[in-house]
Structure formats: C-alpha cells, structure tokens
Amino acid sequence: MAGGDLFGLWQRRWPLCPPLAAGLKHAYRDRWVRFHSLPGSKRYPDTADEYTFLSSS
C-alpha cells in the first residue's frame, strides 16, 4: 500500500483527526476504549510480579 493510500484510508475512517493515533481518544471520545495488560484488568501493578508481567508484555 502506498503512503497516499494509507492517508486516504485514515481520512475516510477518522476525518476529525490528523494521522496521529494519540489524537483519536480526543477526537472520538465516544469510541475510545482502553485495554490494560495487567491480570484482572488492573490499571497499575501492586506487586513486583505484576511489574515483571507488565514489562514482559
């Protein structure tokens, strides 16, 4: 896929946001979802083992 094709696809899918993924959560707040990689969908690690799990993901 050529670079221009990718830009066109982005513009059609997310027209309110420039092609920067970090902006999607602000431009499309109603569609934003966040996934956590810690066990039990915790936001922050509580133990050393969970820090290890987070850094190996």
E strands in 1-57:
none
Q: Which residues contact 24 (CB under 8 A, 6 or more apart)?
A: 14, 17, 31, 32
pLDDT at 20: 82
pLDDT at 4: 66
pLDDT at 44: 74
pLDDT at 19: 84
Taking the whole predicted model, whether its pTM rises above 0.75 is answered as no
The token duo for 19 is 């092609």
Query: Mind listing the pLDDT tens digit for each residue in 8-36?
Result: 898 898 899 888 877 888 888 888 666 66
